[in-house]
Amino acid sequence: MIPLQKTHISLAFLFTLMMFILPEQLEAQRMRHSASRTPSRNVSRPTSRPKTTTRPQSTNRQTRPTTRPKTTTPSTRNRSINGGSNRGANKKVTRPTTSNKTTNRRTSNVKNRTTDRSVNRSGNNKVGNRNRVGNNNVKIDRSRNVTINRRNTVVRPSYRPYRRPPYRYGGFYYYCHRPYFYHPYTPFYWGPYYRPWGYFVTSIATTAIIVSIVNDSNAKEEDKEEYHYENGTYYMKTEDGFVAVQAPVGAQVPDIPDEAEKVVIDESNKDNYYYAGAFYEKNNQGYIVVPATAGTIVPNLPEGGEEVKIGEQTYVQFGDTYYQPIQVDGKDMYEIVQVTDQEK
């Protein structure tokens, strides 16, 4: 009677429990699987085979011991591919620990969108090891400290609506006008005057002009950031010299290198140009650096980008700007992605 009673207590408890457990638990793959039931490490499970088997005694045969010797087969459960079926109980499985193993392999840089957004949003072009963009195998001179100023990588929304559905990942929507077409990220060299971000010089030419940028409209005059501009390159002063940085949004310069290419940004028919990762708009005083606009197609990307796998697709990331590899008329190019947290 006692085993029967226990069975019913267990059944009643199980069904009562099932009624109260919410299905909104950890969802893995396509069905809902409860991670809490995934066997953890410390409780043994009763073996399905009895340790001793008693055979009926045969009278006509040679006398044998009626009880089989106790077999001690090693449990295969510790080596099970999934820890063993654990239906209806909190069965735990002792697994061989692998914590003593050491790994010398390089692992990928895991980026977190929330964390990424919280860093360096003040808009200062800092020269140092913080927020360094890298960890890829492109030929970046590691002696340079490349820092992405997120203020200068903010993306303006596309001027025309998207007809293609977005690529969805992690609660965000990645909009592009053209389909994904992967080609490896190879930083482009814009000519003899081109200086990649992080490039260090002890002195700059006297022809370099000083550009002042105010990050915050409420900032005081003394809070302005000073850049030195020469042939399409922006430098910031350091203790030992000058280091090339990305173009600061809002910088007004008299001219840009001849290698700058005309790009279509919106329907305003303004003269827009692209050079070394920076977008320029022509005005009466010359050219002003403007933020990247989603949907803009550029043929090349400078150094300082990072290939990032986002779900099934690989984008090139510069701060908050994501470039999707595409192909236009058989030529490899990039389109600036519009990333939103709400479907449009």
Partner 1 sequence: MKKLFILIFISSGVLGYSQEMTKVDTVAVNLLSKMSTVIGELTSVTFNLETANDKMNDLRENERHFSTHKIQMVGPDKMAVHSKGDSGNKAIWYNGEILTYYSFDENNYVSLEAPDNIIDMVDDINNRFGIDFPGADIFYPSLVDDVLENFEFVKYLGFKTVDEEECFHVMASNKHMTFQIWINNNAMFTPKRFLIIDKENGHKHYQGTFSNWNINPILPESMFNFRPPTSAKLISILAKS
Site for partner 1 in 109-168 (CB under 8 A): 109-114, 135-138, 163-165
User: Taking CB under 8 A as the rule, does residue 9 contact partner 1?
Assistant: yes
| Least distance CB 149 / partner 1 (angstroms) | 19
User: Taking CB under 8 A as the rule, does residue 170 contact partner 1?
Assistant: yes
Please, which of residues 295-314 interact with partner 1 by CB under 8 A? Answer: 306-312, 314
d(CA 122, CA 131): 13
Q: Are 316 and 305 in contact (CB under 8 A)?
A: yes
Of the ranges 30-38, 152-160, 265-273, 328-336, which one interacts with partner 1 (CB under 8 A)? 30-38
User: Taking CB under 8 A as the rule, does residue 209 contact partner 1?
Assistant: no
Task: Map residue 321 onto helix, strand or coil.
Answer: strand
Place of tokens 């940028």: 213
Closer residue to partner 1 (CB): 67 or 71: 71
Centre a 10 Å sphere on the Cβ of residue 306 and count the other Cβ atoms it contains: 21
Cα distances (Å, whole numbers) of residue 312 to 42, 149, 255: 36, 27, 41
d(CA 235, CA 226): 9
> Which uninterrupted H or E stretch holds 327?
strand 321-328
User: Taking CB under 8 A as the rule, does residue 50 contact partner 1?
Assistant: no
Place of tokens 């790009």: 263
| Least distance CB 202 / partner 1 (angstroms) | 33
The site for partner 1, by CB under 8 A, has a size of: 78
Binding-site string for partner 1 from residue 229 to residue 248, where x marks contact by CB under 8 A and - marks none: --------------------
One residue of 59, 72, 107, 218 binding partner 1 per CB under 8 A:
107
d(CA 117, CA 333): 26
d(CA 150, CA 3): 67
User: Taking CB under 8 A as the rule, does residue 49 contact partner 1?
Assistant: no
| Least distance CB 16 / partner 1 (angstroms) | 7
Closer residue to partner 1 (CB): 235 or 322: 322
Bridge partners, 323 (sequence order) = 316, 336
Closer residue to partner 1 (CB): 119 or 209: 119
Of the ranges 1-9, 190-198, 211-219, 256-264, which one interacts with partner 1 (CB under 8 A)? 1-9
User: Taking CB under 8 A as the rule, does residue 327 contact partner 1?
Assistant: no
d(CA 341, CA 332): 28
Closer residue to partner 1 (CB): 139 or 262: 139
| Least distance CB 268 / partner 1 (angstroms) | 28
* Sheet of strand 225-230, all strands in order from the earlier edge strand to the far edge: 200-201, 242-245, 233-237, 225-230, 209-213
| Least distance CB 165 / partner 1 (angstroms) | 6
d(CA 305, CA 301): 8
Closer residue to partner 1 (CB): 232 or 319: 319
Closer residue to partner 1 (CB): 245 or 310: 310
Bridge partners, 331 (sequence order) = 328
Please, which of residues 78-97 interact with partner 1 by CB under 8 A? Answer: 78-88, 95-97
Q: Which of 148, 168, 160 is nearest to 311 (CA)?
A: 168
